[in-house]
Structure formats: C-alpha cells, structure tokens
Amino acid sequence: MPSPVAHSIIGLSTVLGWLIPAGQTPRSLLAAAWNYRLALLGAVLLANMPDIDYLIGIPLGNLNVGHHLHVHSIGWVFLVAIAAWIILRRRYPGSALGLFVLLILLIGGHLLADVLTADCSYPRGMMLFWPFSDSFFYWPDVTVFPNLSKDSFANLFSLHNFRAVLFEALVTLPLLVLVLLRKCLQCPPNAEVDRENSG
C-alpha cells in the first residue's frame, strides 16, 4: 500500500483545499499555510492514522503482520473522526458538520489510496467494511500505486521501494499543485459583489 509520502500529500491537499480561502497571492498563500501549520501537521497525522497497525509488525521485523485489519475500515475511520472532532470542535469553531466531514475525508482518503494500490501480500485487500463484515476487500482491476515491499526492514530501503515512492510523489504532487493554483487563481467569494457595487 502507499507509503506515508502519498498519504501525507493527499491529506495536505485535502486540508489546504478546505481551509485556505480563495484569492491568494503566492505570498499570502504561504502566510496562510504557516498560520495553519498545526492544522496541516494534524492533517498529515490523521491521513496516516490507519497505518498505526504497523506498530504490531515492527517488533516482529515484518510490517505486514497485522496490517490492513480493523484499523483499515470504515468503522475505524468514523471512530477516529469522532474522537478528533470532540477534541477539535472548540479550537475550530466554524461549522461542526463541516469539520466532521473534513475529518472523514482526511482519514477515509487513506483507505481510498490503499484500495487503489497493488497488493502482493497475503491476505490481499483490507477489512474495509468492518464492523459490518470481516471479509477482505480487494480491487485488483483498478490500481494507481505500485506495491511496497515491507516483509523485512532491509526491503524497506530497496530500489523497488525507492521507485515506488518516487512514483507516488509524481502522481500525488500534481494534486497538491492544482489545489494551490486554484487558491491563487480563484476569485475571493466577495469579489463579484464588490465589482457589482463599484459598477
């Protein structure tokens, strides 16, 4: 499944698209991103949250042990989103529903990226629909990301994995660039009203 590189870029694209207002200059965009730096860091952590199950495999020397079980499911997405929403709703006092949707998108985006990845290890797929089903869901006909070799720590730093991570960056960075360009090229929400009033 994708590395933290792909998951982090997808998470950053999601939260920047949600939080940063339209009509930015490059300089104001950087300033806005800096002002939201804690939210961006939180977005990266949440976007990678389902991979907490790697902690099971680290002491055993095989990251695939325990991977893609309960924490790669819609049940886990909702549990983490609810917990994060309870913690964050007072810090970000805007729309409570909007914040919850953002959290679902951040964590659920991880599962979507995993579904679109070649899976060469057993069991293939993940327990996507837990707690409603313990079956493993796998979609072999639609793959975007190549598989990573994680059955030993030596393989983590293999040429195969380096190429896979480079490919992930090439696929996901354009998404981030498009989000940032849209924030710079899109008129701010009140621009049309201001033009009508000035006319």
pLDDT digits (tens, 9 = 90+) for 110-125: 999 999 998 877 778 8
Instruction: Read off the tokens for 35.
Output: 């002002």
Kindly state the average pLDDT of the residues 162-182.
95
- Asked if residues 77 and 104 have their Cβ atoms less than 8 Å apart, the reply is yes
- 72: domain range? 4-198
C-alpha distances out from residue 82 to 78, 99, 107, Å: 6, 10, 11
Residue 162 has pLDDT above 60, yes or no: yes
User: Which amino acid is located at 114 in the chain?
Assistant: D
- Percent above pLDDT 70 for the chain: 93
- Domain count of the chain? 1
Q: State pLDDT tens for residues 18-36.
A: 988 888 888 998 898 899 8
Kindly state the average pLDDT of the residues 138-146.
84
pTM: 0.86
